[in-house]
Structure 1
């Protein structure tokens, strides 16, 4: 199993005890960047805030990101304009710029170090070059000062590149530590190991979690994907899992941040640990729970880095999950049927360090009654186009196929009662009529129900991270059935 460079080198983050029947102005589920930034903004306005985190601060996406803070995001703008208007694309850029500027100002004020770096999107094929041309047109249409280059510092030939100057790269856990300290200084509370399992939209709202209940005037679901099914956001987004590996590389490292226009994606940036400089290489994304062996994706990413940077030695690797909306723009605002008391943010499409803070700006304005930025109003009221519906239908059709395939495979397999899987392995079979998930990790064999507790998909073994992953909507479970992430809030049952 893997631990990110950021989590390995995270500073201590003090937290608080759960307060039974605590009453707050706002309860936030999730102590990642969205949750903590929203909490700080609201607390600065005098709100009483409590953040409930199912695991630990930054344990899921925020602590496993690449740590890039950039408005040049691969070919994201041309994708957005394919699904939406230039007005929406411009609002997206304005929101991301607001998020970037707020975050870097906060880091400056709290003396948290970060690196100013140029950001590149590069192409190694003619098809990739066409994508760069489309991205350049989209960027210029919305006023983003992107320019073209025919070469860059990478140690392999490229067909072309786009560059945006003076972006940034951060240590995400140092960012979260500073936000957590500021929130607690302002009187807010952060409780770890407290999984939210239900929210009632009563007045006040009632939040049910691992240790009891909490009440609040408003609730924010900052959980990657909403843990409540109202609004069907699990069907409006696709979960994607991608990988990052850190390498010790002899010689001079590329100093800018780089992201390829082609797939499989290749993302590069530098970082540091106690032993010196590192090169971080990311990519190989695929829908969560699908795409075959996850260990093969890690091996492929590692092999590419070792070929491209001779002498590279991997020091660690990790994975992260993010959610892509059908029109490539995040969903931020009120949850349907939440009576205006439940709010959400999801669909950052791997661009979370700017989108998360933009979401926090929008949410805190909504919740405090402050003036909502124009870009946020535009994004709140964007129009769904036929291409959005078509892409959503494609994604949901793929989900339906995966559901049927999983049940069919389980029904035709048999669990061998006398043979435990090899160490680090898992398999789904059938015992009677029930699908069973069996794994062996650290010498312990666990037998569980293979049925995801969210909407009944059949889980699959993740051989790199040693987890059970649902191919429908991205819920993930530890070998003992404990929920790791995703829309599920209940563990896998025992077989």
Structure 2
């Protein structure tokens, strides 16, 4: 499960960690949000430190498809369904600002990229209404989209019965972007600490980030961690964690020149790869889709195999090179949350809820975070910042939130009931598999990976959800709020901060 973009990771590893050091800003997360914010602040002369439990672009950024588009599938139509045109326009303007910043940075830093036409398309007639709705919402928001007549549809091996197109969108290698951002940050005197896990953030008596290796002090803290690692504001309940899958292929002959994402299921995202926007000598095509809420899947490996089967149906000679998945967070109304954390006294900020469109939403969030930290007067900020920050919650948003809360409650009850139905000892799981059973009234998770069988507490350390085995990545995933853990219980991502308790094995359990 290694993303295509991580063939040759060359980002600097960072500098030695010094507990108690002081900075103007400490940013938690060395993904696209954290790095773009860090670079913008460093350009303003601020002393910035970035920390990450892993490395640069360890998780979502490094697993991005590398599609930088303002069309974004059905996103605009879904927002417009329950919100006003000005809010949709503000969302588009924010993403346009993020896209312009990122492409300008790439050009200045020598990161190659390709300009392509992006398509939101229907695989069958049942999807045509959704295509038209996306076109109308995009046009209202100021995008020069066009509905393609049947004669103008692009020639592709896979079926397209209708599409809306937007020209001058971009494909780019997300790892090259992250590495270039890291280099600029370090060249500007910024600090990078990899392998340092944040365990909390506080605004009083002075702003600081707690880590497993000691605190870092700052005037401002930015949580660029996918979903906030502190529960103020309950944002873990205002977004839902989603996993989606990608497979790259070596394809002899031609591949489509544009990028594509379907409106009707199962979702198919298609992106060509060239030497100008990725390791084109290794693969020429990336196919993605089959997303689902974290921890709520009938089989992650099956979702990937379905993508492989679909690709080989339409590209018969396609040879798989890499497969991977990514996790992102979606707010209930598809507008990201960006800004000051409640009860953070204006010293702790965060960003979350990009709904898989982080290449433009992340730099847009960074622009807003930077404006707030440096104290740009509200009247001097772009209008989209004000429009998004003052958005109103409508009944449909509340209904979607209530529905998701119901699903979370259902997953909580189902997980505990399922665990109670099977007592230890259990047979040793086969290689690459895991099972949850009950030991003295407590769910226990047993897995075998790399020939090693381990037992850990099966209860998420965040809100008590019973974990589910991810058979594609060999991880324990929480179906409540998307925390994930390695087989040995080490926390990987999500709102959980503590590792799972490791348990002794006895007999067959």
TM-score (norm 2): 0.95
Q: Partner of 1:458 in structure 2? A: 466
Verify: 1:467 aligned to 2:475, yes or no. yes
Verify: 1:448 aligned to 2:450, yes or no. no
Q: Partner of 1:284 in structure 2? A: 290
- Does the CA contact (< 8 Å) of 1:289 and 1:469 recur in 2? yes
- Does the CA contact (< 8 Å) of 1:466 and 1:479 recur in 2? yes
Q: Structure 1 pair 393/108, CA: closer, same or farther in 2 (3 Å)?
A: same
Q: How far 1:26 moved relative to its partner?
A: 0.7
Q: Partner of 1:226 in structure 2? A: 228
Verify: 1:212 aligned to 2:221, yes or no. no
- Does the CA contact (< 8 Å) of 2:13 and 2:55 recur in 1? no
- Classify the secondary structure of the residue corresponding to 1:244: strand
- Distance (Å, rounded) in 1 between the aligned partners of 2:360 and 2:313: 32
Q: How far 1:246 moved relative to its partner?
A: 0.4
| 1:12-411 aligned within 5 A | 12-149=11-148, 150=150, 151-272=153-274, 273=279, 275-370=281-376, 371-411=380-420
- Distance (Å, rounded) in 1 between the aligned partners of 2:208 and 2:350: 16
Deviates more, 1:447-456 or 1:118-127: 118-127
CA offsets 1:17-52 (integer angstroms, 9 cap, x no match): 212101111110100000000000011101111111
CA offsets 1:83-130 (integer angstroms, 9 cap, x no match): 321111000000000000000001111111111111111112222110
CA offsets 1:192-232 (integer angstroms, 9 cap, x no match): 11111111111421211121001111111100011111001
- Distance (Å, rounded) in 2 between the aligned partners of 1:423 and 1:83: 47
Q: How far 1:391 moved relative to its partner?
A: 0.4
Q: How far 1:143 moved relative to its partner?
A: 1.1
- Distance (Å, rounded) in 2 between the aligned partners of 1:303 and 1:246: 13
Q: How far 1:10 moved relative to its partner?
A: 2.9
- Classify the secondary structure of the residue corresponding to 2:15: coil
- Distance (Å, rounded) in 1 between the aligned partners of 2:173 and 2:348: 31
- Classify the secondary structure of the residue corresponding to 2:342: coil
Q: How far 1:11 moved relative to its partner?
A: 2.8
- Does the CA contact (< 8 Å) of 1:426 and 1:438 recur in 2? yes
- Distance (Å, rounded) in 1 between the aligned partners of 2:280 and 2:305: 25
Q: Partner of 1:491 in structure 2? A: 499
Q: Structure 1 pair 102/274, CA: closer, same or farther in 2 (3 Å)?
A: closer
- Distance (Å, rounded) in 2 between the aligned partners of 1:157 and 1:286: 23
- Classify the secondary structure of the residue corresponding to 2:232: coil
- Distance (Å, rounded) in 2 between the aligned partners of 1:179 and 1:447: 40
- Distance (Å, rounded) in 2 between the aligned partners of 1:97 and 1:202: 36
CA offsets 1:280-304 (integer angstroms, 9 cap, x no match): 0000000000021111101111111
- Classify the secondary structure of the residue corresponding to 1:165: strand
Q: How far 1:9 moved relative to its partner?
A: 3.1
Structure 2: which 5+ residue stretches go unaligned? 504-509
- Does the CA contact (< 8 Å) of 1:243 and 1:298 recur in 2? yes
Q: Structure 1 pair 483/276, CA: closer, same or farther in 2 (3 Å)?
A: closer
- Distance (Å, rounded) in 2 between the aligned partners of 1:64 and 1:403: 29
- Distance (Å, rounded) in 2 between the aligned partners of 1:184 and 1:289: 37
CA offsets 1:287-339 (integer angstroms, 9 cap, x no match): 00002111110111111111121111111100000111000110000111111
- Does the CA contact (< 8 Å) of 1:264 and 1:285 recur in 2? no
CA offsets 1:411-467 (integer angstroms, 9 cap, x no match): 1111225x3111111000011111100000001111000000011100010001100
TM-score (norm 1): 0.98
- Classify the secondary structure of the residue corresponding to 1:212: coil
Q: How far 1:409 moved relative to its partner?
A: 0.7
- Distance (Å, rounded) in 2 between the aligned partners of 1:159 and 1:267: 16
CA offsets 1:366-403 (integer angstroms, 9 cap, x no match): 00112432101110110000000000000110000000
- Does the CA contact (< 8 Å) of 2:11 and 2:182 recur in 1? no
Q: How far 1:8 moved relative to its partner?
A: 2.1
- Distance (Å, rounded) in 2 between the aligned partners of 1:357 and 1:61: 14
Two-structure CA RMSD over aligned residues (Å): 1.1
Deviates more, 1:272-281 or 1:439-448: 272-281
